[in-house]
Amino acid sequence: MANDKFLSIILLAAVSDGKLQEQEIAMLRRYRLQHPGMKQISDDQEAAITADIYNKLSAGMDVLYIIEDLGRNLTQDQKNAGYALAREVCAADYKVLPAEQSFLTNIEEKWKIPKDVIASIEVSLTLRYFT
């Protein structure tokens, strides 16, 4: 199901710079409770998804492999939506650090996010977070 993968990708986005910011935690919580698909994920499922991401990262699994794995069985529209959610989380603290940008670039490349989608999301984020 795409919704558990959406939760995984936004968790990865939140920790991509090595720090979990207060704004990122708030955004994760908001998506988890309000996003039409993610709000159907139980607390136990959320804990299992969080543990899975933590275990993979702790074991030294390459983030590129995790991104590729999460993208399996997603449609291009679902990949685009997951990318947009990740971009939103990375911008939540009103800056996108180099490690976060690298993470996002990896998603763009692995999931073949179309240039027009990237540009649209960039305009939206710039208007809301960086002006």
List pLDDT tens digits, range 82-101.
Answer: 999 999 999 999 999 999 99
Kindly indicate the confidence band of residue 20, based on its pLDDT and cuts at 50, 70 and 90.
confident
Domains of the chain: 2-129 (1.10.3680.10)
| C-alpha–C-alpha distance, residues 62 and 77, integer Å | 25
Query: Which DSSP helix (H) or strand (E) runs through 6?
Result: helix 2-15
- Compute the distance between CA of residue 54 and CA of residue 105 in angstroms, rounded to an integer: 21
The predicted model scores a pTM of 0.93
